[in-house]
């Protein structure tokens, strides 16, 4: 089933999760086990990342197929283009189509260190990848958006202009980069709607359960952590179990606020942590029924 059909059907609250492939083939079984436990929570869908620089991409289709075919949960396969040639991208799209995968998240992705970019044999922008996917199958196509602005764009107006270009190329829905202040998300929604971007937007929520994870998230995304969250880190950062519990509570609070303000679809960056995913779903057990 196409994810956009889920998003457009009724007022039901839908929670989705994300997993990532292992760095080596030896880790596949462990990731599959975590994925099975997340699927048991009955999410709307599970997305599978392409790996940093596309390095673990060969297992993306395998895991996405397992989710859809064996676990009976819809899957969303990530596809990045910066690290792959156009021919390699076309092969991945063909492979996903052959497996019956109907949903692709189209991303430019990080540029591998030391690799010349752009080059003629690679797609330069995500909108070009969206166009390519559209030409090669009847897929539901998702894309990323950045409530705090993309790190490569100096002006937010440019960021929204490029986002509209990407949506106009054939994007069905958007998922935001992680954010930790919901007011940033609400303001972003207002600005993109004013710009004529009307596709569904899923807020991406990252449960931060350790000080190391927070540092890594800041380095990757440049996101702003509000004072309230920094106070939690200062108080509990040196106590792993307390920080885990506080991080889950903070993410839950974000989700409840979003739902209370009319958001129906939430994507959680669960990071192969079924215990974290289960704790959040437990906190929302009655809310998602409302």
Q: Is residue 217 within 8 Å of 229, Cβ to Cβ?
A: no
Cα(157)–Cα(191) distance, integer angstroms: 9
Please write down the long-range contacts of 22-27, taking CB distance under 8 Å and 24 or more positions apart.
22/56, 22/59, 23/51, 23/55, 23/56, 25/59
b (16+ CB within 10 A) / e for 21-52: bbeeeeebeebbebbeebbebebbbbbbbbbb
Which string of b and e fits 66-84 if b means at least 16 CB within 10 Å? bbbeebebbbbbbbbbbbb
Find the catalytic residue in 18, 128, 132, 148: 18
Torsion sign, CA atoms 248, 142, 183, 238? positive
Count CB atoms within 10 A of the CB of residue 158.
Answer: 13
18 is an active site residue: yes
Catalytic positions: 18
């Amino acid at each position: 089933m196409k994810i956009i059909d889920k998003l457009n059907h009724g007022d039901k609250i839908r929670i989705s999760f994300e997993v990532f492939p292992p760095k080596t083939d030896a880790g596949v079984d462990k990731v599959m086990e975590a994925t099975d436990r997340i699927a048991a929570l009955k999410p709307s869908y599970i997305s599978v990342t392409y790996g940093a620089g596309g390095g673990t991409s060969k297992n993306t289709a395998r895991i996405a197929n397992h989710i859809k075919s064996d676990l009976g949960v819809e899957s969303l396969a990530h596809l990045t283009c910066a690290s792959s040639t156009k021919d390699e991208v076309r092969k991945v799209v063909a492979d996903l189509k052959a497996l019956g995968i109907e949903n692709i998240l189209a991303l430019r992705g990080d540029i591998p260190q030391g690799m010349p970019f752009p080059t003629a044999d690679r797609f330069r922008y995500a909108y070009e990848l969206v166009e390519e996917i559209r030409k090669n199958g009847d897929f539901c196509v998702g894309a990323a958006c950045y409530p705090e602005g993309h790190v490569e764009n100096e002006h937010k107006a440019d960021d929204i202009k490029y986002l509209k270009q990407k949506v106009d190329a054939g994007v069905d829905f958007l998922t935001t980069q992680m954010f930790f202040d919901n007011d940033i998300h609400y303001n972003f929604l207002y600005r993109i709607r004013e710009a004529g971007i009307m596709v569904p937007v899923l807020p991406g929520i990252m449960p931060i359960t350790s000080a190391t994870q927070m540092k890594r998230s800041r380095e990757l995304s440049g996101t702003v952590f509000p004072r309230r969250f920094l106070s939690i880190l200062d108080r509990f950062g040196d106590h792993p179990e307390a920080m885990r519990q506080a991080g889950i509570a903070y993410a839950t609070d974000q989700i409840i606020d979003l739902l209370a303000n009319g958001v129906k679809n939430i994507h959680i960056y669960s990071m192969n942590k079924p215990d974290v995913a289960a704790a959040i779903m437990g906190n929302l057990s009655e809310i998602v029924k409302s």
